[in-house]
Structures are given as C-alpha cells and as structure tokens.
C-alpha cells in the first residue's frame, strides 16, 4: 500500500532559522507531490507542487521543495522562517494506479516559530 | 469568491442525530472529494465523485452517505451520529481525476462535534 512518512512531528525554531521538513513516500511509479499548509483553525492551502520537470520547485511565501526520485523524497525547505509560518505542514502524494486522483497524506508536522 | 465552499463551518450536535454538510465548488472541476481530519490532524480520504459518479469509497461506516446532485455539488449526510464522528470534514475538488498535473483544492472545513 502507498504511504507517506513525515519524519518530524513537532519542530520548534526561532525566527530567521532555516527549515527543512522531511517527506518520504512509498511508490515506484509516476507521482504528483504536494505540500499543504494549515494555519491554526484554517483550511489546507497549497504551498507548492511537483508534477514533472525541474525537481526543485518553488512555492509561495519563500518555500521550496526538492524531489529526489532515487530517495523517494520531497523535502520542504525555507531559508529563514518567520513567526507567521507557525502552522501544520502536510506532505501529500497522488500516485493512485486506479487513476482516482486521491491524495495520501503524511501525518503532518507541527511547526512552531518563536519570535 | 470562495472556490470550494462548505456549510456549516461549525456544527455541534447530539449523539444519534442525523446531519448533513454541503459543499459547492465554482471552479468548473469534474472531481470532488470528502476528506476527514481526526483529532490527531491525520487526513484521510472518504469519498470521491467524478462527474456525479462515485469513484472512491474508502472503508467508511455506511452511516455516511455522499450525494452529488451535479458535478458542482457534493454533500455528505451522516446518520446516527457517534462521538467518534467528531472531526473536521474537508471538501475538495480537482479539475479531473487521476494524475496529469491534477491539483486538489480544499474547502475551509466543517468542524463537527458530537456530544
């Protein structure tokens, strides 16, 4: 069965620190990869996505992610976090061979940025 | 204009009641979904419809019944509510089913509390 694993469950950083959140998936075929962010009490917003092409993708708010096919990874990075980045971050994979479009989500990482 | 809208946003109800959550998307998408986020913030797909046809029906109690009157609407009806149904329910939509650069857009969520 396909699965998505986010290694960090809870990350605490100070403002201006660099961020890297790990995401690994288990599926050998074609994948679409996503990072979503959920601010406290709000809905899921798309941060960035990878479909094909350049494995380094840039998203909103200074976030970027790198797809490394050989490692089945899609780690999220930001060079300098802000207090407003405090949120829950979800990695998700669309890899359904039945072509239904369903997303498999990781467990989520809670990011707390201290001012 | 909200792209994927759900109502109600908050719902508190007693065990045993029947309730519905409505969802509408104005993006012209063919595919709609219901995801459930539990108290540990884990997101899991429940149902998906493509052009009013049910294409995903995960292991969900049959007390949950989705209905899609047209491709812009996907409602979720829950019978005989139980305490364990307390969660956030997210509606979502995508241009089409499957991969091929398919991005899924989420609604703002419906917070259901069963007491």
Contacts of B96 (CB under 8 A, 6+ apart): A101, B29, B30, B31, B50, B102
Taking residues A76-80, what's their average pLDDT?
Answer: 97
Tell me what pLDDT residue B58 has.
Answer: 86
Tell me what pLDDT residue A102 has.
Answer: 83
Tell me what pLDDT residue B100 has.
Answer: 66
Tell me what pLDDT residue A30 has.
Answer: 82
Q: Are A109 and A89 in contact (CB under 8 A)?
A: yes
Tell me what pLDDT residue B60 has.
Answer: 84
Taking residues A14-31, what's their average pLDDT?
Answer: 92
Angstrom distance (rounded) from CA B3 to CA B88: 19
Taking CA–CA distances from B56, the nearest residue in chain A reads A100
Taking residues A12-33, what's their average pLDDT?
Answer: 92
In the beta sheet, which residues pair with residue B22? B7
Tell me what pLDDT residue A105 has.
Answer: 93
List, edge to edge, every strand of the sheet that includes B73-78: B4-7, B19-25, B73-78, B64-70
Query: Which pair of tokens denotes residue B94?
Result: 């995508």
pLDDT band at B99 (very low <50, low <70, confident <90, very high): low
- Sign of torsion over alpha carbons A78, A82, A85, A89: positive
Q: With CB atoms and an 8 Å threshold, state whether B90 touches A32.
A: no
Tell me what pLDDT residue A45 has.
Answer: 92
Nearest CB neighbour to A32, from listed B31, B33, B102: B102
Angstrom distance (rounded) from CA B60 to CA B111: 18
Tell me what pLDDT residue B34 has.
Answer: 95
Chain B residues within 8 A of A4 when measuring between CB atoms: none
Q: Are A84 and A114 in contact (CB under 8 A)?
A: no
Nearest CA among B41, B35, B37 for reference residue B56? B35
Tell me what pLDDT residue B86 has.
Answer: 96
Taking residues A73-92, what's their average pLDDT?
Answer: 96
């Amino acid at each position: 069965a396909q699965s998505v694993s986010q290694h960090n469950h809870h990350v605490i950083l100070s403002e201006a620190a660099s961020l890297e959140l790990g995401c690994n998936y288990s599926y050998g075929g074609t994948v679409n990869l996503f990072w979503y962010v959920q601010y406290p009490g709000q809905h899921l917003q798309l941060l960035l996505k990878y479909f094909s092409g350049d494995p380094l993708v840039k998203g909103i708010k200074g976030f970027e992610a790198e797809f490394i096919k050989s490692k089945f990874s899609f780690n999220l990075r930001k060079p300098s976090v802000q207090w407003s980045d405090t949120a829950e971050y979800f990695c998700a994979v669309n890899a359904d061979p039945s072509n239904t479009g369903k997303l498999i989500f990781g467990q989520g990482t809670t990011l707390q940025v201290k001012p | 204009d909200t792209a994927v809208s759900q109502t109600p946003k908050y719902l508190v109800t007693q065990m045993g009641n029947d309730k519905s959550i409505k969802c509408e998307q104005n993006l012209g998408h063919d595919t709609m979904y219901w995801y459930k986020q539990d108290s540990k913030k884990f997101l899991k797909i429940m149902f998906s419809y493509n052009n009013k046809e049910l294409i995903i029906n995960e292991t969900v109690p049959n007390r949950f019944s989705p209905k899609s009157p047209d491709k812009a609407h996907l409602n979720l009806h829950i019978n005989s509510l139980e305490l364990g149904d307390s969660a956030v329910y997210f509606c979502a939509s995508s241009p089409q089913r499957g991969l091929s650069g398919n991005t899924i857009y989420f609604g703002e969520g419906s917070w259901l509390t069963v007491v």
